Chains A and B, each alone.
Chain A
Amino acid sequence: MTALESDRIPRTVRVDGDWPGARLEEIWGTAPTLKGWLSCVDHKEIGKHYILTAFAFLILGGLEALAMRLQLAGPERRLLSPEAYNQLFTMHGLSMIFLYAGPVLTGFSNYLWPLLLGSRDMAFPRLNAFSYWVYLAAGLFIYAGFVAGHGPDDGWFNYVPYASRAYDAGINIDIYALGLILLGISTTVGAANFVVTFLQTRAPGMAISRVPILTWGTLTASVANLLAVPSVSLAFFLLWMDRQFGTRFFATAGGQPLLWQHLFWMFGHPWVYVVVLPAMGMVSDALPTFCRRPLVGYTAVALSTVATMALGFGVWVHHMFATGMPSLALSFFSGASLIITLPSAVAVFAWIATIWTGRPVITTAFLFFASMIVLFVIGGVSGFMTAAVPVDWQLTDTYFVVAHIHYVLIGINVFPVVGAIYYWFPKMTGRLLDERLGLWNFWTMFVGFNVGFLPMHLLGLLGMPRRVYTYGHGLGWSGLNLLVTAGSFLFAAGVLLLLVNVVLSLRRGKAAGRDPWGAPTLEWAVPSPPPSYNFAVIPIIASRHPLWEERLGLGGARSKLDEGYLLDRGRETLGTTALDARPNLILEMPEDSLAPLLLALGLVGVFVGALAHAWWVTAVGGVIGLIALIDWLWPRYIHADLEKVGG
């Protein structure tokens, strides 16, 4: 993104047939070749790649979970060795939390943001591509170790001293440490991109009081990432130094093992909100479409999103209540952890009110969103229980917390994401998902999930610790564990039905048209799938529901969707002011480029070399990265394009 020529006033034109679309397609289109695919910086392509990759990791993590559930189906089973089980639960956790839950939402936001905001791309398209390639590389980096038999086996939380070389000597923890630092680079640049995109590229008139809640969710999550990711990247870097170069950041003498827990959870708890706030935003935006009314309490919900995150930085110690801290300190974090319930309650009551004051039309997507409210509350109240210190001293590290984290991650992430697939799949592909199969999909997942995870609460209350590869007879846990295993397989069958539906509907689904749901937001104003340039002219926004202004009979100015600024001198989009979205810049957007991929490959070289202590590989990777950066930043096209395009 380069700000260019801000004194030029672009012409305002009306869209006329395929003008100026055809011309914009020439400018924005990507050649359907391998090189085109590798160099594409279109946010929609990157978004879809993110979603598909995240689902691949979801499936891997799910298979790992099923293997564990077979082992735990009865007492003293010997299907898995302790070491195999420990690697599986570690890979399961890190796959779901780091490689699925965050990236899948990044994928949706990537795909949707410019369409929701009335822009032609994210603020930094190349950074966007780079962010995806690094994410993919980090996932493969970590999985390569697992496939080779060197998976990390200290849980996704990776506590020291067990993660130190004295107790876990292999290369596995080093792979995890470096892999997460690599992933942190992806998350950080992606977050910076979202923040700038939000502040600078909204269509004229789309004041911050008019943006969809999803963008509030992702913006909040992105700011949180910028503040939280350094903590975990630093922790893993220090750990790697301890393991490889004998530094003593987490040495036992002096009780420094606790330093790891602080650094990890200062990141880890905000991350929980990172992987749910955008998903809650999806529900806040899409549920009203089916309820045929605007969201109740838009302002309250937007503010509660931000408030959740602000409070979310002050509760990390509730992961550490059992570490022996003084009661006074625990009391503060206990109070903060209870108070953080409030903004969530705002969202829940806003959704319920939207249902009660609307006229909901029941579709598969609606069922996923509406059931999410219930699952959210179950995950919420179990979190509320762990906020009370004396209660948490019993609950923590039992299956009660396993139940809690799954109601949070599946209830507030997976269910909205699957709902979002039913909702936005038509936009992405031009075809609707099958509704009959959709109902089977929903009910199988919903019943399977609750049969699989509700009994875990009871298992926890009956004292079953988490992260055990087996348990004895006579402890009263056998029957419930069998039930949990049965439910988890039913849930997996539900996920399989989703995949079947996607594959079938891609070929045979009903044509969607622009706006199959009669929805209020901008993405439904463009064809399905959207053209490479998104909007033929940059729309001008006058309300929170640009496509519902007629239906709601809103007074005052109307949004203009097919009349607006013509920006066709090369890849251009409009820059606007941060709060009121008044136009103030023309943003020159970059061409497709292999530089992001090359830079990502260079980084992989740096990290592989560091892992193997093959410093020449690190050096080669660094040089490749440097070349990529020079190519990336070389200012060659701005003026050339102006001349080519002419006046």
Chain B
Amino acid sequence: MAGPADISAGRAWPMNYLWTHGPRADPATALTWAMIVLSTAVVVIVTLLVVAGVAVRGNRRLTVAEAPVKDEGDGLAWISIGLVLTVIALAGTLVWTLEALAAIDSPARPPALTLEIIGHEWWWEVRYLGAGPGQSFSTANEIHIPVGVPVRVWLKGADVIHSFWIPALTGKTETIPGRTNLTWLQADRPGVYRGQCTEYCGAQHAHMAAFVIAEPAAAFAAWLRSQEATPAVDPEFAAGQAVFQASCAKCHAVRGTSAHGDKGPDLTHLMSRRTLAAGVVPNDVDGLSGWIANPQALKPGALMPATYLSGPQLARLRAYLESLK
């Protein structure tokens, strides 16, 4: 397994968007900070005005009914001044908003890579659309991109509406069945960036993480080549492959074999992924065994049923899966 399951290596808040790392997100982040400062100032000022008003003007000697009623000063200046200040703040915000929107609408350079990401209940299908027939492939939940270049992402929905979000790199865009949405992202430095589905989509909406893995060009190219390759089946794992074909192939595909299921993730290079089940467990011996044996215990409501395999069958299946490097 490559690296820690949950990255964002060392970041205390891997999902925060107060510090972002790419030109699709950064202009919005600057505006976010400005609006936080402005909003906090407004709240503090209004709170002080209310508290001071009560402290300064409060009448502590008389009951309400006894206190005299007066209509002194029309007080309209408060409304006029307040409105003028509000208009100035709003106008400034509107201009900045439109500028930020224009800045992140599309990348400054043509995208170096185009991906298709499809939201499923409850995982992300990631398709790399190569030039030739052998160069397209599909993986799940982990999105490898080259660092420092814009990547175009077509977003589709397979079942219900999901929403694609990598806080450090891009805001949300829904994946809507029947439509194709467009977004883009760019990571300015290498790293693993966590994201998560943000449109409520049913039982396991909570467990639908996505990871962007931004790598230097060479490392990304190497990863791309390894993913494009169709691994040969090692006869050593034939027994496990038979179990897979009987129990898993209706939903999962492994290229180069007769497993063509497309309901669940493509498992051709399963071992190259860090986590299973969209971030629920690390892809290690325990994680893999536990997930295959009883997915419902880890992710209740997930569409993968328990497989009810015997101990030896499970061991053979796991050995086969562990060969899918």
Residues on A facing B (Cβ under 8 Å): 81-83, 86, 154-155, 159, 161-162, 167-168, 251-258, 289-290, 292-294, 296-297, 300, 322-324, 327, 330-331, 334-335, 338-339, 341-342, 345-346, 348-350, 352-363, 370-371, 373-374, 377-378, 381-382, 384-385, 387-398, 461-472, 474-476, 515-518, 520, 548, 551-552
Contact = CB atoms under 8 A, between A and B. Distances in A.
Nearest to A362: B58
Count class of interface residues, chain B: 35 or more
B178 A327 contact: no
Contacts of B25: 394
B204 A82 contact: yes
Contacts of A463: 13-17, 167, 196
5 contacts: A289-B64, A327-B102, A349-B83, A377-B43, A377-B47
A397 B172 contact: yes
B228 interface: no
Given A358-B57, A394-B17, A342 B87 contact: yes
**Nearest 9 pairs of A and B residues by beta carbon:** A463-B15, A393-B171, A349-B82, A353-B78, A324-B181, A296-B75, A353-B75, A381-B39, A390-B28
A249 to B, nearest CB: 13
A300 B59 contact: no
Given A323-B176, A342-B90, A361 B59 contact: yes
Contacts of A327: 101-102, 105
Contacts of A465: 165, 196-198, 205-206
Interface of B: 6, 12-18, 25, 27-29, 31-32, 35-36, 38-39, 42-43, 46-47, 49-50, 53-54, 56-60, 62-79, 81-83, 86-87, 90, 93-94, 96-98, 100-102, 104-105, 121, 155, 159-161, 163, 165, 167, 170-174, 176-179, 181-182, 196-206, 279, 300-301
Contacts of B36: 385, 461
A389 B83 contact: no
Given A346-B83, A377-B47, A394-B172, 11 more contacts: A255-B178, A257-B161, A292-B64, A297-B79, A345-B82, A348-B82, A352-B46, A353-B78, A359-B67, A472-B6, A518-B64
A324 B69 CA distance: 56
Given A324-B179, A331-B101, A360-B54, A377 B200 contact: no
Given A83-B301, A381-B43, A322 B66 contact: no
B16 A461 contact: yes
B12 A476 contact: yes
B70 A292 contact: yes
Nearest to B11: A476
Nearest to A354: B75
A377 B75 contact: no
B74 A296 contact: yes
Contact of B69 (A255, A256, A392, A518): A518
A476 B43 contact: no
Nearest to A392: B171
B35 A462 contact: no
A550 to B, nearest CB: 9
B114 to A, nearest CB: 17
Contacts of B181: 323-324
A551 B68 CA distance: 7
B49 A352 contact: yes
B39 A382 contact: yes
Contacts of A518: 64-67, 69
